[in-house]
Amino acid sequence: MLIATWNVNSIRTRITQVEDFIDEFEPDLLCLQETKVEDSLFPKDSFNKKGYQVYTYGQKSYNGVALISKLPLQDIRKGFNGESNNNEGSTYFDEQKRIISSLINGVRVVNVYVPNGSSIDSEKYAYKLKWLTCLYEYLENQSKREEPLCLLGDFNIALNEKDIHNPKRFNNGIMASLREREALEKLIKDRLEDVFRLFEQNSGHWSWWDYRSGAWQRDQGWRIDHIYLSKELISNSKSCVICKKIRGNIQPSDHAPVIVNINWPPMDFDDDSQEEGLF
């Protein structure tokens, strides 16, 4: 099962690139962030014609998340409401459309667009930390259903120094502050694992390059787009890659897609030929 995450930074601007990505990689589920469009205006027909279902949770000009799937999805959940202990707080956070989830082959996929936070001395930073606390409560309640979990999206957090091209310069700033990292570590704790690091331990692998200062041309990036899997999914993971080349498109998103291949539902392969063609 191929699951991909991609902050497209406007689905209508990047629609052709998303279609090309689907044609090339044929993901079972593509999770988008920062779609920047109301649900009624999302270009669903483009994906329906390719045999994909589309579920959206969007708003005008900002934020927005979507699920694009060629496999059946069940129990679609939009926003924090219904999963958080604090319904009043979750209603407040749901003014910004940043989280959508569903079941696919019995796996709960939670697609998030974590707030950026702007700067550590801003109100937006405090909002980000509170939003992450709400996400923690959401995942705690989800865990009671004992569903295998895939938590993915744009986290706007580099978890450690290996995830930043120049950690000495950026550590303790926005997206690399101690409180952000602690909040993310609390989310994943003993239940989830960063699947990309299962296959690649070295630095130098980025998923986001700032549009400014020639960051792409100099390969000065950050790894802030993550896929976290619960133990039963980690043990059945076959690969996880960042599709870096897509960042080099004309008029690209500033993010590159990340794809994980999970042998799920688990299958036994009798010989190498049966694995041929798997990503």
pLDDT tens for each residue of 173-208: 999 999 999 999 999 999 999 999 999 999 999 999
Record the tokens describing residue 123, joined without a space.
């109100």
Pick the more confident residue, 274 or 239: 239
Task: Give me the percent of the chain exceeding a pLDDT of 90.
Answer: 90
pLDDT of residue 277: 42
Q: Nearest-CA neighbor of 55 among 63, 46, 132, 42? A: 42
Give the integer Cα–Cα distance in Å for 21 and 170: 32
The domain of 17 spans 2-275
75-89 residue pLDDT tens = 999 999 767 666 666
Q: Which residues are catalytic?
A: 113, 154
Residues 244, 250, 252, 257, CA torsion sign? negative
Give the integer Cα–Cα distance in Å for 81 and 21: 32
Amino acid at 214: G
Q: Which residue has the tokens 């994906």?
A: 47
Number of folded domains in the chain? Answer: 1
Give the integer Cα–Cα distance in Å for 156 and 275: 35
DSSP string, 23-40: HHH--SEEEEE---S-GG
Record the tokens describing residue 158, joined without a space.
């580099």
Mean pLDDT of the residues in the chain: 94
Q: State the CATH number of the domain containing residue 213.
A: 3.60.10.10
Task: Give me the percent of the chain exceeding a pLDDT of 70.
Answer: 93
Give the integer Cα–Cα distance in Å for 104 and 277: 22
pLDDT of residue 132: 97
8-46 residue pLDDT tens = 999 999 999 999 999 999 999 999 999 999 999 999 999
Give the integer Cα–Cα distance in Å for 147 and 32: 22
Q: H helices within the chain, ranges in order?
A: 15-25, 44-48, 87-93, 123-143, 167-170, 178-188, 195-199, 231-234
Record the tokens describing residue 4, joined without a space.
């991909």
Q: Are 47 and 21 in contact (CB under 8 A)?
A: no
